[in-house]
């Protein structure tokens, strides 16, 4: 039986409007034209921000790190010390959808659609909060390329508009909790080269895939050895041995093989010691193994927890650590103390039939209203 759906209000209508404007990255192996247009959504949002009394609104084109249209829309009220940041882009639609990902269906008390949870519902909630609360010394940044390359936030941080900011609320689905810290992400690839040739000579030739398999097993064990280490709320490294690539046919000895893996370290992670440990492990298997870093996102820890608790106390259920990475880490590294909060559950993000509850959208609009009111009273 279909559950009753609350009446459609502004936060629901805005979420649906945003979902219906595709901003997804292209699926793997496809050109940028196979993706959505986040810059077009930024241009759509600009008058909505201006209409809420912003002193200045800019749409900035940055492109996406992997190509295609991308950028951000930024608005300010007064001389901003607080930034509200939400990403406008989404991942490609996962396999297994039973609905049109961009139809924005309202049913069973939820909004269904790609980006409804991650994170267009948060954009809608902020727009609603701006209708209800005074915007004093505030900036809003709706930015692209979060899901793949972070080009937009890097461009913003390099601009004069980032000057003077002290604090930021970064929106991701946090299940009504506020994230004061979260894991980073490191992705690596190891490569070994051989000679390649006819498989009848395999006994006398290097076996690149076998060498990478040995390294894969060793890395997996290293990850298991770390499972009890680290902060109590973020133990272990989330070691993920992801793939071994190489070879063209069963009767051809590969001339090379590549192993890829990732870890998600907690704040306080000793990156230099880890790199040395992995390098020694690879060298013990074969000194010819080379290692490259393909992704390097540092962990995050809020530098001003007192501020985060003051502005969000009572508006969130708890203050916690998060297992997923966000662009709060980039803002914090730039000297802007950040906290992560937003409607929805991370389990819905990137999943087929993504959705967010209407109750969560309303909760977020109320919570952001509270944050804006408290900031207006004390915009330090």
pLDDT, tens digit, 9 for 90 and up, residues 143-193: 999 998 899 999 999 999 999 999 999 999 999 999 999 999 999 999 999
- Find residue 369's DSSP bridge partners: none
The structure tokens listed for 379 are 């915009």
Q: In the prediction, which pLDDT does 2 show?
A: 40
Contacts of 290 (CB under 8 A, 6+ apart): 190, 191, 192
What is the pairing mode between strands 337-340 and 197-198? unpaired
Q: Which of 111, 135, 130, 136 is nearest to 121 (CA)?
A: 111
User: What domains are defined for the chain?
Assistant: 10-182+299-377 (3.40.630.10), 185-297 (3.30.70.360)
245 DSSP β-pair partners? 258
CA atoms of 230 and 215, how far apart (whole Å): 24
pLDDT value for 67 = 82
pLDDT at 8 (0 to 100): 56
Share of the chain above pLDDT 70, in %: 98
Residue matched to tokens 């409007």: 17
Give all strands of the β-sheet with 355-357 in edge-to-edge order: 105-107, 110-112, 355-357
65 band by pLDDT with thresholds 50, 70 and 90: confident
> Starting at the edge strand that comes first in sequence, how are the strands of the sheet with 185-193 ordered?
240-245, 256-263, 185-193, 290-297
Q: Which residues of 298-347 form beta strands (DSSP E)?
A: 300-301, 319-322, 337-340
pLDDT confidence of residue 38: 95
13-50 pLDDT tens trace: 999 999 999 999 998 889 998 999 999 999 999 999 99
Whole-number Å distance between alpha carbons of 363 and 344 = 10
pLDDT of 66 reads 81
Alpha-helical runs (H) found in the chain: 10-19, 38-50, 121-132, 151-157, 208-225, 271-285, 305-312, 328-333, 358-377
Smallest Cα–Cα separation from 141: which of 25, 17, 56, 37? 56
- Listed range (104-113, 193-202, 356-365) with the worst mean pLDDT: 193-202
Residue 316: CB atoms within 10 A of its CB come to 22
Confidence grade of residue 5 (pLDDT, cut at 50, 70, 90)? very low
Q: Is the pLDDT of residue 368 over 90?
A: yes
pLDDT band per the 50, 70, 90 thresholds, residue 4? very low
Which tens digit of pLDDT belongs to each residue from 232-268?
A: 989 999 999 999 999 999 999 999 999 999 999 999 9
Catalytic positions: 146
pLDDT, tens only, 266-312: 999 999 999 999 999 999 999 999 999 999 999 999 999 999 999 99
* Mean pLDDT for the chain overall: 94
- Residue 87 CB: number of other CB atoms within 10 A? 29
Pairing status of strand 110-112 against strand 71-77: unpaired
Has residue 366 got a pLDDT over 90? yes
- Pairing type for strands 56-61 and 110-112 reads unpaired
On whether the CB atoms of residues 219 and 241 are closer than 8 A, the answer is: yes
């Amino acid at each position: 039986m279909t559950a009753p759906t609350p009446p459609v209000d502004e936060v629901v209508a805005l979420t649906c409007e945003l979902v219906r404007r595709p901003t997804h990255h292209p699926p793997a192996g496809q050109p940028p034209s196979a993706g959505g247009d986040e810059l077009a959504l930024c241009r759509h949002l600009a008058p909505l921000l201006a209409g809420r009394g912003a002193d200045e609104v800019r749409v900035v084109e940055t492109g996406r790190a992997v190509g295609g249209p991308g950028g951000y829309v930024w608005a300010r009220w007064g001389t901003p010390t607080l930034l509200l940041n939400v990403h406008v882009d989404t991942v490609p639609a996962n396999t297994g959808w039973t609905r049109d990902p961009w139809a924005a269906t309202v049913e069973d008390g939820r909004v269904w659609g790609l980006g409804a949870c991650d994170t267009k519902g948060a954009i809608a909630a902020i727009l609603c909060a701006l209708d209800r609360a005074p915007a004093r010394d505030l900036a809003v940044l709706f930015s692209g390329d979060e899901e793949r390359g972070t080009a937009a936030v890097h461009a913003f941080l390099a601009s004069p508009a980032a000057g003077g900011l002290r604090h930021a609320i970064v929106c991701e689905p946090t299940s009504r909790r506020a994230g004061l810290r979260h894991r980073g992400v490191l992705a690596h690839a190891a490569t070994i080269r051989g000679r390649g040739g006819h498989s009848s000579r395999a006994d006398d030739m290097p076996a690149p895939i076998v060498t990478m398999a040995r390294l894969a097993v060793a890395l997996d064990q290293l990850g298991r050895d770390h499972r009890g280490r680290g902060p109590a709320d973020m133990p272990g490294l989330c070691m993920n041995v992801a793939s071994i690539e190489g070879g063209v046919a069963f009767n051809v000895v590969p001339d090379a093989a590549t192993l890829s893996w990732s870890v998600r370290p907690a704040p306080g992670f000793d990156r230099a010691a880890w790199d040395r440990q992995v390098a020694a492990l690879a060298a013990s298997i074969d000194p010819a193994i080379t290692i490259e870093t393909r992704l390097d996102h540092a962990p995050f820890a809020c530098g001003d927890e007192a501020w985060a608790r003051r502005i969000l106390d009572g508006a969130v259920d708890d203050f916690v650590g998060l297992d997923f990475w966000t662009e709060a880490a980039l803002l914090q590294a730039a000297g802007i103390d950040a906290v992560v909060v937003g409607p929805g559950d991370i389990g819905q993000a990137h999943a087929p039939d993504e959705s967010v509850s209407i109750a969560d959208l309303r909760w977020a609009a109320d919570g952001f209203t509270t944050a804006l009111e408290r900031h207006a009273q004390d915009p330090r």
